[in-house]
Amino acid sequence: MSETTAKNALFAVEHLTKSLGGREILHDVSFEAYGGEVFGLLGPNGAGKTTTIKIAVGMLMLDAGDIRIAGYDLRHEYESAMACLGGIVENPEFYKYMSGWDNLLQYARVRRRKINEERIREVVHLVGLENRIYDKVGKYSLGMRQRLGVAQAILGEPKVLILDEPTNGLDPAGIKELRDIFKKLAHESGCAVIVSSHLMSEMEMMCDRVGVIVNGQLRCVSTTAELLSAASADSADFILRVSDVRSAYAALDFLDETSRRITEEGTLEIIVPKEEADALVARVNRSVISAGIELYTVSPKENKKLEDVFIQMTGFEGGVQIA
């Protein structure tokens, strides 16, 4: 406990378990997000990211475990916990027949601490909606709704900000703006910002640490840098250009399915342990050629990205499907 308080764990998930309709969605998930960091929640579709977030904002009940928000137990001190939380779940939805301003007022009114008009203006300015804030939300584009959602989420100056796919529907410039807002909130205001996204490049640019959820279980939690270096430390990636990708894939049956895949560009990607890299690449070479497939090039993959780590970790199943 002393360790976590020292690191100021504003958002703590402890042994979270949840079943829906007889299927276990989350199994014993534990992680913490600290003040001052952007924490990324990564996982393929259906892994349990949104479920975790929905439990955290009180839309779903947890079966076992605990969630603490700024030290308040979500189950027993619900209102205090929620008072420290801001967020977006899935697509932000608003009352379409009211203006953006009126929607924000709705949100502001029920907050514990008083939110004055000046604060609302400030937030509206921050997300760049000044020109349209008095228009009815029904006339907003998806991107504008997303901006309004962010405005609503940060309006109450929450200690913990939870954002489910926050850059959905935004143009590249908008994505960068928001990324900067979240980083600033975490690094300067000391918030804990928890972001889930399927855009790995996004996460890499935004997050200080990431937790990877696969099939309802937390695979690992580490800093983005650690994850990248750890991944490149013990394995190597190679790209093979061949005449028949499918046959080549089949020929490499001595590699397990988590370490070979067909990429979107029509090449074959293999991941091998670093210490055996030379021997394995040679064997791959032989197998492809002896299967009667033309092998044009074998090149090491440079600039390993979070996406690759993620795919490697989750065993390709989130990537391109194999016929």
Partner 1 sequence: MHKFTCLVKNEIIKLTKRKGTLVMAALFLAAIVGLTGLFKIVAESSAQSDTDWRQESFQQGEVAGNVDYYGTLYHDSIVYDENGSILSSDLELKELYEYWTYLAEHEVRYDDWLYTNGLYAEYCAAKFALENGTAGALAGEYSARTAKIESYMEKDGWRAYYQDRMAEIQSGYTGTDKEAQLWFYRYSLDRGIAPESGEMYTLLLSVKNAKTALAELDASAAAGEEISEEHRSELQDDITLGVWRLENGVTRDISAEVKNSSLFEVEEINFWSIFAACKTLIKLVGVMCIVIAGSIVASEFSQGTYKFLLMSPAKRWKILVAKFVTVLLFGIAMMAVLYLLSFACCLLFFGTADLALPLLSVQNGVVVPSSPLLSILGDYLLSSVEILAMALLAFAISALVKGNALAISASLLVYFSGTLLESILRSLGVDFGRYLLFANLDLPALYAGTELYAGQSFGFAVAVILCHLIVFGWTAWDAFTRREM
Residues making contact with partner 1 (CB under 8 A): 20, 54, 57-61, 78-83, 85-87, 89-98, 102-103, 106-107, 109-112, 152
In this structure, what are the phi and psi dihedrals at residue 28, rounded to the nearest 5 degrees? 50, 55
Q: Give the single-character DSSP code of 75.
A: T
Q: Which is nearer to partner 1, 90 or 130 (CB)?
A: 90
Q: Which is nearer to partner 1, 23 or 265 (CB)?
A: 23
Q: Which is nearer to partner 1, 36 or 92 (CB)?
A: 92
Stretch (H or E) spanning 68? strand 64-69
Output the smallest distance, CB 40 to partner 1, in A: 21
- In the beta sheet, which residues pair with residue 222? 210
Contact indicator for 305, 231 with CB cutoff of 8 Å: no
Please give the structure tokens belonging to residue 277: 């890299």
Q: Which is nearer to partner 1, 90 or 257 (CB)?
A: 90
Tokens 């900067």 belong to which residue?
180
Output the smallest distance, CB 230 to partner 1, in A: 36
Q: Which is nearer to partner 1, 141 or 201 (CB)?
A: 141
Output the smallest distance, CB 82 to partner 1, in A: 4
In this structure, what are the phi and psi dihedrals at residue 169, rounded to the nearest 5 degrees? 80, 5
The runs of H, that is alpha helices, within the chain are 2-7, 49-56, 78-83, 100-109, 117-126, 142-155, 172-189, 200-206, 224-234, 245-251, 277-290, 306-314
Q: Which is nearer to partner 1, 41 or 248 (CB)?
A: 41
Output the smallest distance, CB 130 to partner 1, in A: 21
Output the smallest distance, CB 47 to partner 1, in A: 19
Among residues 11, 20, 27, 29, which one has the least CA distance to residue 67? Answer: 11
Output the smallest distance, CB 312 to partner 1, in A: 34
Order of strands across the sheet that contains 72-73 = 23-34, 9-20, 64-69, 72-73
Output the smallest distance, CB 149 to partner 1, in A: 9
Please tell me the distance from the alpha carbon of residue 56 to that of residue 85, in angstroms, as a whole number. 9
Q: Which is nearer to partner 1, 1 or 61 (CB)?
A: 61
